[in-house]
Amino acid sequence: EEQEANKLEKAAREAETAARKAEDAARKKEAAASKKEEVFAVAEEKALAAEKAMTDLEEEMKDVIATVERTKREFEERKLALEAIAGDDSLGIVRRNKAKNELAQHLAAKNDTPLNRAQLVNQALLKRQAPVTEQARVARAQAQKARAPFEKARKIAED
């Protein structure tokens, strides 16, 4: 009986040693998967930040373009209103001449060059920016895809 107990005890120690080795191997695999996952997580985070910066820049350019267009539209609306008043014979001569004078000043003050330039530059930048933003989205998606197997391996190793 004692011999059998010693054999069982020895087998239990061997099983415990094997279990510790397996546990150590699993921890090493988990650590390796975690490190690789972390590298891809950092890459994904950087890609996400770049994508956000690109998107923010696109929005800013769109805002500038919209502001330029709004300014031009307001100028045209004012011009049309003054022309309507100046050409309306039912109004008094003083009011019509005042509108003609304002219209002349309004047209003389018009210098579309800076507005046109700002609009053209921003439209060109927006066109060049769109593919770069798309590349950032693709890079982030690839980083997520590359990270997935390591995340899965880590989860398996944790279990």
Residue 95, pLDDT score: 92
Residue 159, pLDDT score: 66
The pTM assigned to this predicted structure is 0.53
d(CA 142, CA 44): 8
Instruction: Map tokens 């197997």 to a residue.
Output: 149
What is the number of other CB atoms lying within 10 angstroms of the CB of residue 147?
A: 19
pLDDT string in tens for the chain (159-residue length): 778 888 888 888 888 888 888 888 877 877 777 777 777 777 777 777 777 877 787 788 888 888 888 888 988 999 999 999 999 999 999 999 999 999 898 887 777 777 778 778 878 877 877 777 777 778 777 777 777 777 777 677 666
Residue from 48, 106, 119 nearest 78 by CA: 106
d(CA 78, CA 102): 10
Amino acid at 19: A
Residue 157, pLDDT score: 66
User: By the 8 A CB rule, do 85 and 100 touch?
Assistant: no
User: By the 8 A CB rule, do 98 and 51 touch?
Assistant: no
d(CA 27, CA 15): 18
Residue 101, pLDDT score: 93
Residue 81, pLDDT score: 93
